[in-house]
Structure 1
Amino acid sequence: MNAASALIGYSVVVGLVVPRLLLRGTWTYRAPALGAAVWQALSLSFSVAATLTASSLAVPTEHLHAGLVGILHSCGLHLGPGRPDPGTADRLAIALPSAMALALAASFVFHLVRARRLRERHRDTLDLVGRHSARLRATVLPYDLPAAYCLPGRRPRVVVSDAAVRDLSPEQLDAVLEHERAHITGRHHLALAAVEAFHSLFPWLPLARLAKEQTALLMEMAADDRALRSHSHEVLATAMYEMAAARAPKGTLAVGGENVVIRLKRILAPRRGPHPVVTGTAATVTAVVPILPVLLACPPVLG
């Protein structure tokens, strides 16, 4: 089997089969941060595989090998004596992966900048209509429904409605604020921008659609777990129930939302962590999967 066939088969498995298998399991809900990392790793691996597939179809195998070695040389890694002297085909073997990397990076930056502009405009509105609460370390916004969300980034801010301050108990309100602070400290907006970028390049791909959906859900679950470190399950669940109907502005992360029913069931169900074998396997997959397409395209030469 040549490199192109192996890479095409690998891309089909990662892009179509693995996402559905991953959805069948429940371990990602018990370890949401690790689960989100697996979705990110699969997305990166597919991107690498798709790029190398195009390279292997466009240029001969020996030129693809030279192109990969050239990229590694440019990163300071030397796999053999001398430095490759690429010809036209070799330059193409380098250009295609570079173009994909640039496209992903550009899409990632685009989504980050767009979300940041939305947040900046919303901050200006908050400065006009909201009031800062030193006690809550948050901006209190006039709104007739209990709601809370955060604006992550360089100037993070937690926002809570005056209805939430009025209607929630002190324990419920503190749990909600801890949830929002977890989004900020965990930089969850970066993970969301990454899957948005991947989905923009491959909108037809099941992996891209599911990675976007599942990463958003898992980031909320990770923030829930942070709040549960210092609050009971009942306190957080009742607060989420009170805030389920509220909607947050674009570019923000909120304790409520469309996935609140799934998260409520998770919080109220008996808790058990994933088996150590599962977490160890998932961590290994996260580290190894992104480099598998490179090994398929250019097996290491020993000796």
Structure 2
Amino acid sequence: MTAAALGLLALACVAGAWRFTTARWAYRAPRTAILLWQALGVTWGLASTGALLSYALQPYDRGIVGGLAAFAYSAASGGYGPPGAYDMPHVLALIAGLSLLAVLVGVLVTAGFQTLRARRRHREMLALIARDDPGVPGVRVLDHPGAAAYCVPGLRSQVVISAGTLKLLSPTSWPPSWRTRPPTYASATTWCCSRSPPCAARCRGPRSSATRRTPSAC
């Protein structure tokens, strides 16, 4: 029963992800869309792994964790266990479940390591080519003629804007709060798009270009 329920949940996640690729509201709410997409992926991975392991360990009738412990003890003691524990369908399901779990954990660890390394490399590059501006404390300025604004995420996020943005806009038009504390990514991009016609045009860009549907494209 548990394996069937988890299998249905995994199939529902696949159907939801397929429908998600054609959802138009995702371009109007990118943060919610990203959270929902990640939730679908995590739920599918856990449900698929749980369904396979639950079916494979069903003869032990101890759940997944207890079933794994019972299987390990049974295998170490010579393969003695309940009837059906070592038939082909249950063994294949156990191998598939453990393999999928290992792949998911490996992908998660690898992605986290690559993300942290990319952020560190980006911060090192900004330390070399970006500069501070007294008019906008806490913001890194890149000497580039185009209007641009983005954020390097992390525990100490860093907002970066281009010199083109500073030239397009008067220093007196910066929000007063920016003079006392660093702006957030959302406030920087929203303000940039509301004040700069070129940047606003990019934010409202054609729907055929995925990189021009959100303020982050500025």
Provide the rounded CA distance (Å) in 2 between the counterparts of 1:133 and 1:24.
42
Aligned residue pairs, count: 190
- SS at structure 2 position matched to 1:149: strand
The residue aligned with 1:139 is 140
**Counterpart of 1:61?**
58
Alignment of 1:199-218 (within 5 A): none
Distance 1:130 1:44 in 2: 37
Equivalents in 2 of 1:42, 1:123: separation in Å? 31
Change (3 A) 1:87 1:108: closer
Matched, 1:70 2:66: yes
Alpha-carbon distance in 2 for matches of 1:172, 1:105: 48
SS where residue 154 of structure 2 aligns? coil
Counterpart in 1 of 2:87? none
* Cα distance in 2 for residues equivalent to 1:10 and 1:90: 30
TM score, norm. by length of structure 2: 0.61
Matches within 5 A, 1:148-167: 148-167=149-168
CA deviation profile, 1:129-176 (whole Å, cap 9, x unmatched): 3211243121222223222222222443222221221124558876xx
> How many Å apart are 1:46 and its aligned residue?
0.6
| Counterpart code for 2:58 | T
Q: Distance in 2 between matches of 1:107 and 1:173?
A: 42
Kindly report which structure 2 residues correspond to 1:104-253, keeping only aligned pairs within 5 A, or say none. 104-136=104-136, 137-169=138-170, 182-183=184-185, 223=186, 228=190, 231=191, 234-235=194-195, 238-241=198-201
Change (3 A) 1:70 1:238: farther
User: Identity over aligned residues, as a percent?
Assistant: 24
Deviation at 1:47, TM superposition (A): 0.3
Counterpart secondary structure, 1:86 = helix
Distance 1:107 1:51 in 2: 15
Deviations 1:245-283 (A, max 9, x none): 9xxxxxxxxxxxx5344337xxxxxxxxxxxxxxxxxxx
Which residue of structure 1 lines up, in the alignment, with residue 10 of structure 2?
11
CA distance in 2, matches of 1:127, 1:66: 55
**Paired amino acid for 1:167:** L
C-alpha change, 1:171 and 1:52, in structure 2 (3 Å) is farther
Aligned amino acid, residue 18 of structure 2? R
Aligned counterparts of 2:28 and 2:161: Cα–Cα separation in 1? 28
Q: Which has the higher contact order (CA 8 A, sep 6+)?
A: 1
State the 1:116 CA deviation.
2.6
Question: Residues of 1 paired with 2:152 and 2:192: CA distance?
Answer: 25
**Cα gap change, 1:61 to 1:49, in 2 (>3 Å):** same
State whether residues 168 and 239 of structure 1, in contact with CA within 8 Å, keep that contact through their aligned partners in structure 2. no
What is the alpha-carbon distance in structure 1 between the residues aligned to residue 160 and residue 202 of structure 2? 16
**1:86 aligned onto 2:70:** yes
1:20 aligned residue: 18
Q: Is the 8 A contact 1:244 1:260 kept in 2?
A: no
TM-aligned CA distance change 1:44 to 1:166, over 3 Å? same
CA 1:89–1:104 in structure 2 vs 1: closer, same or farther (change >3 Å)?
A: same
Aligned residues: CA RMSD? 4.4
Q: Which amino acid aligns with 1:11?
A: A
Of 204, 213, 218, 1:262 maps to 213
Q: How much has 1:101 moved relative to structure 2?
A: 5.1
5+ unaligned residues in a row in structure 2: which ranges?
76-90
